[in-house]
Amino acid sequence: MQFTIYPILDTMIGFYQKPRGFDRFKDYLSILHGKSKTDMEVPIPYFNPMGKPHILTQLMIFRDMEIEEVMYKAIVEVTSDLPASINQTISVVFALADDLKGGWTNHYSTDFDSKFKLNAYVTRNFCIPVFWTSETYDIKTIQRVTQEYYLRTIYWKMNSKPLSLEDHIKQEIFVSRHCTIEYQSLSSIDYKSLDHYYNTHKTSTDHRRIFNFMYGDEACRALGYKTFGIVPSSAGYFYAAVKCGQNWMLQS
């Protein structure tokens, strides 16, 4: 497996320096479609074309951090432990999603799609690590996020798309097992209760139940989804990390 960093940061900085309006939206479509006019040649759908100045501010911070170079080094570190049977080159493209002042971007549903609805990107050999305007990043967090998204792309290259709850957790176990950057914070979770719930419902393909297990009741209530009593906000990701041996603090 080979990869390349598709440099998009300077392009998007220039894009957000333009005034909001129809001309900017046309420029957005021009970047997205490239010479094809209709296909997605540059994967920028997570960027808000009508984004406000805070997006440019965050992009400038990322430029000062040399984020694309950090992303490159993070993937180099993780590739030595991956299967070599996939003879393709993956283009890794930075993305900044606006969940702070972007009215149409829900953090939870967009995050889910960016991790589990990858077919349109994987078939084009794109990997899109998604960062958020509402969050603050340091180097290690950037490295972890980049590795996670790259590993999801590799997983999709080797497996069919996840359908059941078990499929989703297997993907995230693969991600946690191969990441070289540890989570920087610990979270207390009731592992026994989650494990019982998972083993009871792991064959379920109900999106509401899968989403609830991954993101918890609070995220479901924000979207008007049914809740199933999953309290931790990122329960499914914590559960997957514990399943593959990550050192989370557990409640007995």
Q: Identify any residues that bridge with 132 across adjacent strands, giving them in sequence order.
A: 97
Backbone angles phi, psi at 132, to 5 degrees: -130, 140
Q: What is the pLDDT of residue 107?
A: 92
Q: Which residues, 6+ apart, have CB-to-CB distance to 146 below 8 Å?
A: 70, 71, 74, 75, 92, 129
pLDDT tens, residue by residue, 79-108: 877 766 677 899 999 999 999 876 667 899
Q: Helices 191-201 & 207-223, crossing angle to 10 degrees?
A: 130
Q: What is the pLDDT of residue 251?
A: 41
Its pTM surpasses 0.85:
yes
pLDDT tens, residue by residue, 178-234: 998 876 554 567 888 999 999 999 999 999 999 999 999 999 999 999 999 998 888
Strand, helix or coil at 3?
Answer: strand
